[in-house]
Amino acid sequence: MNVLIIGSGVREHALALKISESKNCDQIYVSPGNGGTTSIAKNVILNLSEIDKITEFCNINSIDFVIVGPEQPLVDGLADHLRAKGIIVFGPNKKAAMIEGNKRFAKELMREFNIPTASFNSFSKNQYDEIINYLRNGKFPIVIKASGLAAGKGVIIAQTPEEAEQAITEMIKESKFGSASDEIVIEEFLEGEELSIFAITDGEDYVLLPASQDHKRIGEGDTGKNTGGMGAYAPLTFVNSEMIKEIEDFVVKPTLNGLLKKNSKFIGCLYCGLIITKERIKVIEFNCRFGDPETQVVLPLLEGDFLELLYSTAKGKINKESIKYNGGSAIGVVTVAGGYPDKYEKGNEISGLETINSENINIIHAGTVIKDGKLYTNGGRVLNIISYSKQNDLINNKTLVYTEIDKVKYKDIYYRKDIAYKQFNK
């Protein structure tokens, strides 16, 4: 089978690495890919707005299957266009992708189908005065979200009315997130332990992958600014079978059924961002694709044919027996460029990767590029170093990952040294 993966990031490298293990995989193409995908795939440049040229590429290269990684092309309807051309695609159509592309849609779906989540109100951008009045009478801290896609940066937790008003001014008056903040969702602040879980679904049936937990903040102890993710680990010892049943019965099943009733059948990976509150498990957010950095630590824990899982799902009848949890554990640590998530440099040479030769380490590339045979930084988040094992042994995972990551060198490298600290403090 020839596979085309759409995307340039660490998630796409991780997907390609796992898919390459399948006996049914002949050739992988990644568009546009990164410096890491070149070792297991062919990087190609395709303009996602030129559907006819993508179709032509698929026909010329006998592409059997397309996997769309990032949220933006899914929200833009890429999967719809490719399916209309007769191409088998893993990823939801445009209507179903609204569960991530429009937070107001997602919250109203949850309210309509009794899916537990934070209480909320939504506003349009021309209701500035109404928003300010609402906030002045609100309970703090409070969560303010741009309803549209904002590259993972459109969420503000305001501690005071003054912080909230500043956030609204930046979103609406200064268009900090562009059209993403044409609508604003304001939610109650939830406290509790967070987790992520992926449901691979054909729209009706599904398989849940092992639960994981990411670390969004730039600083140790979960301090500082939010990022695209500084690391993750899986599985979570505090997630037991009763919790999984609760997630299935009150989150996954009603969400899929609700989308079906709205003629928005979801085919792909439904990312469930959850929080365990004092009352019950609640939904923080849904995404319409694999999450990052969780994907990088979840995939090494799967035994079987991952390509078959995705392909059968895309064909409309998920093969639930194609994979299973192998009993293991994994920790992933993200290295970033100095200054990230604010201003940072690109183009610094990376060295030391060739000295990492443990069979229990995956080196997954995020923002890298190869020039003249050398590897350089090409983004804020640069590399993911993943330590995994077939035993549930996070202590040894942690020791190994931090031993090996010390070998990675580039100018102003930074990474958190406390990934999975909550697990070890329990």
123/143 same-domain check: yes
Q: Which residues contact 265 (CB under 8 A, 6 or more apart)?
A: 93, 96, 203, 204, 259
Q: Which two tokens stand for residue 264?
A: 């928005």
* 321 and 204 in a common domain: yes
Domain boundary among 135, 164, 188: 188
Instruction: Identify the DSSP state of 158.
Output: E
Instruction: Give alpha helix (H) positions in 306-385.
Output: 306-315
Residue 316 amino acid letter: G
Per DSSP (E only), the strands in 92-220 are: 120-124, 142-146, 155-158, 183-188, 193-201, 206-208, 213-214, 217-219
**Residue 333 DSSP code:** E
Same domain, 132 and 214: no
Question: What's the pLDDT at 293?
Answer: 96
Q: How many CA atoms does the CB half-sphere of 330 hold within 13 Å?
A: 31
Query: What is the three-class DSSP state of 215?
Result: coil
What is the count of structural domains for the chain? 3
Task: Specify whether the CB–CB gap between 379 and 263 falls below 8 A.
Answer: no
Q: Would strands 42-43 and 27-32 be described as parallel, antiparallel, or unpaired?
A: parallel
182 and 324: one domain? no
Alpha-carbon distances, residue 128 vs 122, 174, 183, 197, 426 (angstroms): 12, 12, 11, 35, 44
CB 398, CB 330: distance < 8 Å: no
Same domain (yes/no): 6, 123 = no
> Is position 162 within any domain?
yes
Q: What percent of the chain is helix, strand and coil (3-state, nearest 5)?
A: 30, 30, 40
Between CA 125 and CA 182 the distance in angstroms is: 5
Model's pTM, two decimal places? 0.95
Domain boundary among 84, 111, 146: 84
What does the alpha-carbon distance between residue 392 and residue 326 come to, in Å, rounded to a whole number? Answer: 9
Residue 92 lies in a domain: no
Q: Are residues 255 and 311 in the same domain?
A: yes
For residue 380 the two structure tokens come to 């804020």
Residues 14 and 131 both lie in one domain: no
Q: List per-residue pLDDT tens for the chain, 426 residues long.
A: 999 999 999 999 999 999 999 999 999 999 999 999 999 999 999 999 899 999 999 999 999 999 999 999 999 999 999 999 999 999 999 999 999 999 999 999 999 999 999 999 999 999 999 999 999 988 999 999 999 998 777 899 999 999 999 999 999 999 999 999 999 999 999 999 999 999 999 999 999 999 999 999 999 999 998 899 999 999 999 999 999 999 999 999 999 999 999 999 999 999 999 999 999 999 999 999 999 999 999 999 999 999 999 999 999 999 999 999 999 999 999 999 999 999 999 999 999 999 998 999 999 999 999 999 999 999 999 999 999 999 999 999 999 999 999 999 999 999 999 999 988 876
Joined together, the tokens standing for residue 133 give 């009045």
Query: Is residue 277 a part of any domain in this protein?
Result: yes
Cα–Cα dist 353/409, whole Å: 8
Q: What is the CATH number of the domain that holds 373?
A: 3.30.470.20
User: What gap in Å lies between CA 153 and CA 161, rounded to an integer?
Assistant: 20
Residue 345 lies in a domain: yes
CA proximity to 195, closest of 99, 324, 282, 325: 282
CA distance 74 to 97: 6
Alpha-carbon span 185 to 156, nearest angstrom:
11
d(CA 69, CA 18): 14
- Residue 180 is assigned to a structural domain of this protein: yes
Task: Quote the CA–CA distance of 230 and 84 in Å, as a whole number.
Answer: 38
Q: Range of 75's domain?
A: 2-84
- Closest to 183 measured CA to CA, from 147, 142, 134: 147
Q: Do both 140 and 28 map to the same domain?
A: no
Q: Is the domain of 48 the same as that of 138?
A: no
Same domain? 167 vs 314: no
Strand partners, 385: 333, 363
The identity of residue 13, as a single letter, is: H
Of 192, 102, 182, 188, the residue nearest 149 (C-alpha): 102
SS3 198: strand
CATH number for the domain spanning 131: value is 3.30.1490.20
CATH of the domain at 69: 3.40.50.20
199 and 131 assigned to the same domain: no
Residue 283 lies in a domain: yes
Q: How high is the pLDDT of residue 426?
A: 63
Residue 131 covered by a domain: yes
Q: Which of 139, 169, 188 is the last residue of a domain?
A: 188
> Taking Cα atoms as reference points, which of 186, 157, 183, 187 lies closest to residue 171?
183
pLDDT of residue 226: 86
Residue with tokens 């690109």: 346
Residues 200 and 157 in one domain: no
Residue 414, judged by CB atoms within 10 A of its CB (0-12, 13-18, 19+), counts as middle
Give me the torsion for CA of 253, 255, 256, 258, rounded to 10°: 120
What's residue 154's pLDDT?
A: 87
Residue 44 falls within a domain, yes or no? yes
